[in-house]
A and B are shown apart, each in its own frame.
Chain A
Amino acid sequence: GQQLNQSPQSMFIQEGEDVSMNCTSSSIFNTWLWYKQEPGEGPVLLIALYKAGELTSNGRLTAQFGITRKDSFLNISASIPSDVGIYFCAGIGSNYQLIWGAGTKLIIKP
């Protein structure tokens, strides 16, 4: 079946640094979604991408739908303490179900 590879698994960064994470697949996806999960909560949708090549921003977050439709990137600029959490990518597969990445845990060093 379709699978997503999300990397890195975790990131330790200093406050103020930029962050970059990505998801790749051997299969084509028609939609990419990026979610954030804070400790003790369910995931919350951050950005949705519907077209190959699309670049979408949400505040300090920017996500891109890869031109090959097999990957997506999420960047966070000038990280702040409230950015900590687990970031998940998800793609819409051929059967219209969400395929989830394993998550990227973001930890900000004081």
Chain B
Amino acid sequence: DVKVTQSSRYLVKRTGEKVFLECVQDMDHENMFWYRQDPGLGLRLIYFSYDVKMKEKGDIPEGYSVSREKKERFSLILESASTNQTSMYLCASSLFATEDLRAVYEQYFGPGTRLTVT
């Protein structure tokens, strides 16, 4: 059974703090993604990674950075948290290109981390 876990379900941080959100997948997936979810805006891609130590900016990378030192782990870092980063953060993973390209597009999500910055 596929599994994506996120380090915290709920997190409260103060403005200016450095925040780490951790994501681990046990499916040996090459691709990993970080999204934020806000009401009425759907899911917006922050960063993704298609291999260890590789990263690509998504649609809203400002204020965030990522780290992928191991295949199974993808971290999202808020260098200096601000109140407009209060949101639900979702991690996902998927396979890279294989014989069946369909596997690439089917992302598996973690339960999310609801971050509040005060």
Contacts and interface: CB of A to CB of B under 8 A. Distances in A.
Given A6-B42, A33-B105, A42-B91, 14 more contacts: A31-B102, A31-B105, A42-B4, A42-B111, A43-B43, A45-B107, A45-B108, A50-B102, A88-B42, A97-B45, A97-B58, A98-B107, A100-B44, A102-B42
B45 A44 contact: no
Most interface-central of B44, B104, B105 (chain A CB within 10 A): B105
A9 B4 contact: no
B90 interface: yes
Interface residues of B, number: 22
A44 B42 contact: no
Interface of A: 6, 9, 31, 33, 40-45, 48, 50, 88, 92, 96-98, 100-103
